[in-house]
Each structure stands twice: as structure tokens, then as C-alpha cells.
Structure 1
Amino acid sequence: MRLLMFIAATLFSADVASSDILVAARTLRSGDIIEASDYAIAEGNVAGAIDAATNIAGLEAKTAIYAGQPIQAGSIGAPTVVARNQPVLLIYSQGGIFIATEARALGRGGAGDSIKVMNLASRSTVLGVVQTDGSVKVK
């Protein structure tokens, strides 16, 4: 019975095409900025792995990536602009109204990332988008 199941699985299984993916050339710690020498091209078919045609130099490792391990899309991102517990300028701008106050980042994030920040005056927590200058803008 097992032999019959093995033969059926072998005959009817689809061939999975492999493609060129990026693998770590050395162990990358969380927070490391990736350089071109930090990754290499390898053949494989790992779900979620970054295609070899993608340039990831200048991005940041969001998790530890060990040497030889495929680089997953969720493991890298924009470099951190705001660190956790860092004081930031919290900005609200709508129409003719502009409000700016001091806040503390409750998470880390790069430009364009959404993070929670705590308004130091009211102690309320809001969600905002990190700007390239390190401020956080709320809508």
C-alpha cells in the first residue's frame, strides 16, 4: 500500500522549478546594514525568499540571518530611523492646523513604517508614520 502511494505521489507531483535566490554570505545580526558583500546568489525554491535580481544593499536586517540561509522578504527592511524609547517630535497637520509635541517611541521603525508613540504631555498612545527626519506624523 505504501509503495502504491509513493508511486502515485511521484507520478502526479508537479516539478517545482528552482530559481536564483539570495542567501547570506555571513551571519547578519538584527540591525546590521546589508552591503553587497553580505549576500550571494544560490539556486533554490524557498517560499518567500528574495529573488536574485533584487538589490538589497543598504537595507537593514530586521532579524538574525545566518550564513547560507535564504534571505526572506520579512527579514529585511528600511534602515531604522527611530529607535525604541527614543524621544521624537509628534506632528499632526491637517488643513491649516499644525500641532507638534514631544513623544517617546514605543517601537523602532524606518521611514514609512507605522509605530506607536506615547505623547509625553497626555500619556496617550497613538499610531503614527515615521518620517525621514525622525519625526512621527499622525493622521
Structure 2
Amino acid sequence: MLALALLALAEIPVLAHDVQRGDILSAADFVLEERAGPLPPLARPDQILGQEALRRLPAGTLVRANDVAEPRLVKRGEPVTLVIASGNLRITAAGRALGDGRSGDSVRVVASATTRTLDGTVIAVGTVTLATP
């Protein structure tokens, strides 16, 4: 007796090319590919697009939610703008990040003018807010 298993074909998004750790994913990084068989749980497009790859992902990879994270807005060793705000007063200064940070992360920074090490919170690309004294 011959047993036949019918597998449904589905078009799913896979990586069109290798993606390096730290790359930000966009729709241009994907192509639709026909695959058969039971598929692993896939991340939704809103969980992937605009996110940063946490590791190298080869072409043809099905991207999962744990393969990506919110992009780093501050990177270790890069210049940052330090911001202290109180009411209508806003003071900015130049600094350098001592660690990586995503939105809302705490990071240590060095103020360029004083070489003082401070703790702050990432609020935007290259911008760290410091607590008011």
C-alpha cells in the first residue's frame, strides 16, 4: 500500500541576501519563496521591519522574532548629545557613549568638556538625557 502525504505550499518571506549583525531590516531585504510542509512559527512583519539583526542571518533564512531587536540608538565609542532639561530650560553638551543603548536604556557617557562619567537614558539617535540634580 502506498501512503501519500500532501503538503500545502505557502509563499513566505525569506531573506534575499545575507544580513550582518547590526543591520536594520527593511522590506527590500526579503523575497517571497514557496515552501512546503509545516512551517515554524514566524514573526509578523511589524516585529521584523525596522529592527536590528542580533546575529548574522544567511540568505533564505526565515526570520524569527528572537533574531531581531529594537535598533541601537547609541553605540559605544560614538559621539552623543547630552541633554539636561528642567522646565523651559534645556542645556546640551557633547559627549561620548561608553556603551550601546536602545530607546529607554540606561547608558554611561563621558562629557567631552569635563571628561566626567555620567549616567543617562537614551531618548533618540545619538541623544542621551541626564537626570536633573
What range describes the TM-score normalised by the shorter chain of this pair? 0.5 to 0.7
| Separation of aligned partners in 1, 2:93 and 2:99 | 18
Q: Is the 2:75–2:99 contact (alpha carbons within 8 Å) kept by the matching residues of 1?
A: yes
- Could you say which residue in structure 1 is the equivalent of 2:99? 107
Q: 2:78 aligns with which of 83, 86, 110?
A: 86
Gaps of 5+ in 2: 1-9
The residue number in structure 1 matching 2:30 is: 39
Specify every segment of 5 or more residues in structure 1 that has no aligned partner in the other structure, as ranges.
1-18
Whether 1:70 aligns to 2:73 is no
Residues 21-51 of structure 1, C-alpha deviations (whole Å, 9 max, x = no match):
64323221123333324224566223xx412
Contact kept, 8 Å, 1:61 with 1:77, in 2: the verdict is yes
Amino acid at match of 2:16: A
Counterpart AA for 1:126: D
For normalisation by structure 2, the TM-score amounts to 0.61
Richer in helix (by share): 1
Count of aligned pairs: 116
TM-score computed with the length of structure 1 as normaliser: 0.59
* RMSD between superposed Cα atoms in Å: 3.3
Q: What is the Cα deviation at residue 97 of structure 1?
A: 4.3
Identity %: 28
Q: What is the alpha-carbon distance in structure 2 between the residues aligned to residue 54 and residue 22 of structure 1?
A: 13
- The corresponding residue for 2:4 is none
